[in-house]
Structure 1
Amino acid sequence: MNLAVREATPGDADDAMFLLDGAMLEADAEAVRRRIESGSVLVAVADAEGDGDVRVVGVCVLDGGEIEQIAVRRERRGRGVGTALVEAVDSRTDGAVTAEFRENVRPFYESLGFEIRETEEGRYRGVLR
């Protein structure tokens, strides 16, 4: 699988919403479109079959260096897509990358070196310096 991360374009909005909805993340379609227009959404795209048919396999919605939402197509999870998205955020951010997340994804953020603290029961905040 050839994987690349780039800024989302308006044509990526439906795919981004599909992934965010599939991950059961609360996302407003108009808000995501506005974020895309402002350059605050990254997508991971892959040519899985090597036939030139590129599709969106991951999405990351940002507020500066804060990861607001991140989602990966179910069949691509565990293949480095989320890691590539976070690395792209880190490379374009001056300062720390932060994220708030549920307990079930804590191992993902720990594996990337985030310093993590619990903010409330079952919710965490991570910082990558």
Structure 2
Amino acid sequence: MSGGRTNVGVRRALPSDAAAAAGVWLRSFAAALPGVVRPRSDAEVRDHFRQVLVPLRETWVAEAADAGVVGVMVLEGEELDQLYLAPEWRGRGIGDLFVALAKERSPGGLALWTFQVNTPAHRFYERHGFTAVRRTDGAGNEEREPDVRYVWRP
């Protein structure tokens, strides 16, 4: 699948989107981070989306007219907490839409964590003006995976 983001819209997630958003997260994590050990089972991830992320956080979905939910983004104040795309929908500008929306929602700045092994994410965020400000050994995250703190300030 190539081309632009034709027929993709971004909107706030509804309770009925939780399962699809969790499915995108699970597929994207498996494709992008195959060597990273997940601390939560698939069922726990689905429960987290249903019980926490969709009802209690600022969760957004990208929805394609012909494919349903193809991306998910979670904001928590100035923290870009989650940004995952269905693997087959990467490279179509959906991540760009999400980052533009995140910057609009948090005009004073944004911060996020990404794993050190996720070099495509580093390139993506740096292209959007984020700067790496800290690297850790992963002791502070659930996965125990070395990570990088990125910050964007207007």
Q: TM-score, normalised by structure 2?
A: 0.71
- Alpha carbons 1:8, 1:39 under 8 Å: kept: no
Distance 1:61 1:113 in 2: 19
Which runs of 5 or more residues in structure 1 are unaligned?
A: 48-52
How many residues in Structure 1 have an aligned counterpart in Structure 2? 124
> Which runs of 5 or more residues in structure 2 are unaligned?
1-5, 30-37, 138-145
1:19 aligned to which of 21, 24, 28 = 24
CA distance in structure 1 between the partners assigned to 2:131 and 2:80 by the alignment: 14
Matched residues in 1 for 2:58 and 2:48: separation? Answer: 11
| Structure 2 residue aligned with 1:28 | 45
Q: Which has the higher strand share?
A: 1
- CA-atom RMSD in angstroms: 2.0
Identity %: 32
**Which residue of structure 2 aligns with residue 91 of structure 1?**
104
Of 108, 119, 129, the match for 1:113: 129
Structure with higher RCO (Cα < 8 A, 6+ apart): 2
TM-score (norm 1): 0.84
The answer for the alignment partner of 1:42 in structure 2 is 60
In 1, Cα distance between equivalents of 2:80 and 2:49? 13
SS of residue in 1 equivalent to 2:9: strand
State the 4+ residue runs in structure 1 displaced beyond 6 angstroms: none
Q: Aligned to 2:91, what secondary structure does the other structure show?
A: coil
Partner SS for 1:70: strand
Distance 2:67 2:89 in 1: 14
Provide the rounded CA distance (Å) in 2 between the counterparts of 1:62 and 1:3: 20
